[in-house]
Every structure is written in C-alpha cells, then in structure tokens.
Amino acid sequence: MTLGLADMGRFSEPALLVLMSLAGGDKHGYAIMEEVERDHGIRLGPGTLYGALSRLERRRWIEALAADERRRPYRLTPQGAQVLEEQLRSLQRFVTQGMARLSLT
Amino acid sequence: MNGIVRLYPRWWRERYGGELDALLAEHPPSFRDYADLLRGALDAHLQTASRPAFTTTLTRGGRLMKALAFALVLVLAIGLAVRSHLTAGRATGPTAAAHLTAALHRTALPFGTTVTASPGQPVFCSPGTHPALTVMPSVMPLNGGLHADYGPSIFVRINGRMTELQRCDGVR
C-alpha cells in the first residue's frame, strides 16, 4: 500500500506546505517557516515543522543535505515531487468541481 | 542546547536537535511556540513507542509506558504553566486586576471574570494574600446590601475559597 499525505494525520497540511516550499528550491527549517508564513499566511510552529520534516524524511520524500554550520538544508526528492504533484492534481479536481457547483467557471 | 529540546527523545535530538536549537536561537520561541514544541516532543515520544525497528533494551510495551508517562508529565507541566500564566499579575500591586472564579452571593459570575481596580469604587483588601479588589456594581456582597452600600467587609470566593475582604479605601 502506498502511503499518502493523508496518512500523516495532523501533519498532512504542514507536510504539504513543506513539500511546496522545497519545490521552489533547497531550504533549511527556518527558511521554510518564513516562506510558508509569507506566501500562505500560515505560521508553522517549530515543533510542527520538525514533526513534518522527520516524517517526510522517513518516507524519503525529502532528503537532508550537508549541514551549513548548524542549519541543515533539505531537498525535495523525485518521490516527494511525485507525491506533491498527485496532491496538487487532486486539489485541482476539488477546486474545479467546487467552482462548477457554484457556477463560477 | 535549549532546555525544551531536551524533552525530545535521544534519537530525535541526535538527528534534529542541533538544527532545531539553531532555529530557536535565531527565532526566540513565543509562549505558543513552547506549547507547539511540547506537543512535538510528545509526538516524537509516541513515534518512538510505535517504531518497530527501534533498537533499545526497552520492550515495545515499555516504550509505550515511557511515552504515556511523558504525556502525563507534559499535561501536568502545561497545566502548571497555564495556571501560572493566568495568575500572573495578581500579586503585582494594589491596583492589579483580581480574578473572581466563582459566585458571589447568588450572583453567578463566569469563570475568569476580571474585576479591575478603578477610581470611585469601593476597595476591599484581603490582608497579605490578594491585591486590592475593586468591587464593581455587578458584584454583590454576601452579607447583603446594595452595591452602593457596602459594609466594612464582604465575603467573596477567590480560587474556590471563601475569603473575607476588609474595606481598605478609608471610607467607613
């Protein structure tokens, strides 16, 4: 059985935000936190962020790069990019259906 | 290492402790962040308990018990922190706000009602234990009378305990 983002429970949304952030380039934890808050207005707490990072890394959807001093950047893996793509396509279908029901398309 | 990072299990600290510590140094945590970190620490302990390949001398049941014990300590710590946060400022001086937590006479007050000192209202004090308490019109004294006609003392319930407050604004 393939594990998806939904299997991450309360970490599903933070994990999606992290994958989305890393799709734009390699980043360390603090940079991810800042970008998510700036682009989406969502404040990821440090405990939530690292809970999501540890889960994503365990599933090999992201990988840690060599540490820059004490800060360690992360990179999206091909498997992670595929999961993100599937999730975005699913959201796209959801949005399309919702817009159609509201006669907005 | 930031004290709160030490609450995470060892395997987690060895892998993520350094970078989380660096993040907290760069971005000092707020009260909300501390709560989030406590929740994260509990989550990491539960992950430890559910990791089948985790190599340790503890049995799976032992790891679960350890995680549950940690959860219990965490709940107590959060309770104490919240209590301390709610009561902060009560004893900072005679004009500090006082919190009434239960009913006065037959007038039920919602939990956490704040009675703030303001000029022109009678002031009652509990010697040594509470800051001055200004009694507002919505607060009825237990020993009867209208709010404008208080006696030399009133009985109020503070933190669940009936307390006699003496009038201390010099008016008799």
Overall average pLDDT of the A58-62 stretch? 94
Choose the closest CB to B18 out of A45, A47, A70: A70
The DSSP line for A47-97 is: HHHHHHHHHHHHTTSEEE---BTTB--EEE-HHHHHHHHHHHHHHHHHHHH
Separation CA A48–CA A54 (nearest Å): 10
| Residue A89 CB partners (closer than 8 Å, separation 6+) | none
Of chain B residues 18-37, which have a CB less than 8 A from chain A?
A: 18-24, 26-27, 29, 32-33, 35-37
Contact call for B37 and A71, based on CB within 8 A: no
Mean of all residue pLDDT scores within chain B: 62
Contacts of A54 in chain B (CB under 8 A): 12, 15-16, 44, 47
Q: Which two tokens stand for residue B22?
A: 């660096």
Give B21's contacts in chain A (Cβ within 8 Å). 70
Alpha-carbon distance of B105 to B155, in angstroms, equals 9
Q: Is B40 on the interface with A (CB under 8 A)?
A: yes
Determine the average pLDDT of the residues in B123-135: 51
Could you tell me if B125 lies within 8 Å of chain A, comparing CB atoms? no
Q: Is pLDDT at A77 greater than 80 in this prediction?
A: yes
pLDDT in tens, B48-60: 766 544 444 456 6
Cβ neighbours of B38 in A, within 8 Å: 47
Q: Write down the pLDDT at residue A10.
A: 83
How high is the pLDDT of residue B113?
38
Contact check, Cβ <8 Å, A47/B33: yes
Name which of B1, B4, B23, B74 to mutate to probe chain A: the one with the most chain A Cβ atoms within 10 A of its Cβ: B23
CB atoms inside a 10 Å sphere around CB B81? 14
Percent of chain A with pLDDT over 90: 80
- Chain B nearest C-alpha distance from A36 (Å): 15
Diameter over CA atoms, chain B: 75
How do residues B33-44 score in pLDDT, each as one tens digit? 999 999 999 999
